[in-house]
Amino acid sequence: MTDLTTNYLGLSLRSPLVASASPLTGSPDMWQRIEAAGAGAIVLPSLFEEEIENEAFAVSFAAEHGADQFGEALSFLPELPLPEVGPARHLGLVEKAREVLTIPVIASLNGTSPGGWVRYAKHLADAGAHAIELNLYDVVVDPTISSSEVERRYVELVEEVRAEISVPLAVKISPWFTALGNLAVQLQAAGADGLVMFNRLYQPDIDLDSLTVVPKLQLSTSGESRLPLHWIANLRSAVQCSLAASSGVHDGADAMKLLLAGADVVMTTSGLLRHGPEHLMVIERFIREWMVERDYVSVDELRGSVSRENVPDPQVYERSNYYQVLHSWVPDRPR
């Protein structure tokens, strides 16, 4: 029997296949199907910095409004119960997921600026999350902000979240950094137990009829897994923390390649939104059959065997590959 167990963030998972954050993982009706289909862990949808800040605003507004009318009102309200919306509902989701599921539940916190909202990392952990995933989804369009400033803010934020919690911390990042390897090392030093590679950044579209800018979410395609594959293969030996592959994992071959590149877990969202949670079983079957055919007994045995440090010519993962790739293109037929 092939052994699919893997270690992610210090947690022992029965499988390297993880359901990443999406409406699917936020639906309690889906949890048991995701678990029954073999997921090693589940990442719940994010609690956003904006939701927390909005709630803080609403609560302080309510408190101040009361204070206007009753002189001592603020002193009556030192321990405001959390409203049954936004963050409170989110904490309830974590508690419920823990009751229903036996696989690890990872709670996600989504934001980019250090500040009071990071206290919710502790609330999520107290609600029972086995680990916290901090999503640094950010599109910096202000030309006066430098890359070093952005990176310093991320590192500070990771340090703040780390200080709040004792459970493991994963940090979900985008691939678009000038020196991604250096940022990865900095985030690890700041307390990240793992990196989730990567966020898929969404771009708006223009509607040619209404001449308006429209947000458009398109699910990923299989080819997009080459981006995490490239970076995981390159960074596997540069960091000691866990590496999770995310983006473009649609079938068993995508997942297999990412494990060979060095991923500790492989996450999928679009594939499950398209085909349902049971698609995990299809991916797992492919991995098992591939391993049996090649006499691999465990994922540990094969992980990273095609990472940059383990290939005879590491340059295939570096720039010189650019030259080879360009010159390897052969047209199907002359046009």
Residues that bind ligand FMN (CB under 6 A): 20-23, 45-46, 108, 110, 135, 172, 199-200, 217, 219-220, 224, 246-249, 268-271
**Of 132, 75, 145, whose CA–CA distance to 104 is shortest?**
132
> Residues for the chain: how many in total?
335
Q: Shortest approach of ligand FMN to residue 135 CB, angstroms?
A: 4
Pick the closer one to ligand FMN by CB: 42 or 167: 42
Q: If residue 64 lies in a helix (H) or strand (E), which one and from where to where?
A: helix 49-69
Phi and psi of 43, rounded to 5°? -105, 120
Q: Shortest approach of ligand FMN to residue 231 CB, angstroms?
A: 14
Q: If residue 229 lies in a helix (H) or strand (E), which one and from where to where?
A: helix 226-235
Q: If residue 288 lies in a helix (H) or strand (E), which one and from where to where?
A: helix 279-293
Pick the closer one to ligand FMN by CB: 16 or 271: 271
Residue spans of beta strands (DSSP E) within the chain: 6-8, 11-13, 17-19, 41-48, 105-110, 131-135, 169-173, 194-197, 205-207, 212-214, 242-246, 265-268
Pick the closer one to ligand FMN by CB: 59 or 227: 227
Q: Which residues of 287-305 are buried (b: 16+ CB within 10 A; e: fewer)?
A: beebbeeeebeebeebbbe
Instruction: Report the SS3 class of residue 203.
Output: coil
Pick the closer one to ligand FMN by CB: 234 or 246: 246
Q: Shortest approach of ligand FMN to residue 273 CB, angstroms?
A: 6
Pick the closer one to ligand FMN by CB: 77 or 96: 96
Structure tokens, 9? 């963030």
**Of 43, 134, 165, 56, whose CA–CA distance to 93 is shortest?**
43
CA angle 203, 209, 212 (to 5 degrees): 40
The per-residue DSSP string of 139-202 comes to ----TTS-HHHHHHHHHHHHHHHHHH-SS-EEEEE-S--TTHHHHHHHHHHTT-SEEEE-----
Q: Shortest approach of ligand FMN to residue 319 CB, angstroms?
A: 26
Q: Shortest approach of ligand FMN to residue 290 CB, angstroms?
A: 20
Q: Shortest approach of ligand FMN to residue 324 CB, angstroms?
A: 27
What whole-number distance in Å separates Cα of residue 286 and Cα of residue 266?
A: 14
Q: Shortest approach of ligand FMN to residue 202 CB, angstroms?
A: 9
Q: Shortest approach of ligand FMN to residue 205 CB, angstroms?
A: 16
Pick the closer one to ligand FMN by CB: 200 or 303: 200
Phi and psi of 147, rounded to 5°? -65, -35
Pick the closer one to ligand FMN by CB: 135 or 307: 135
Pick the closer one to ligand FMN by CB: 61 or 223: 223
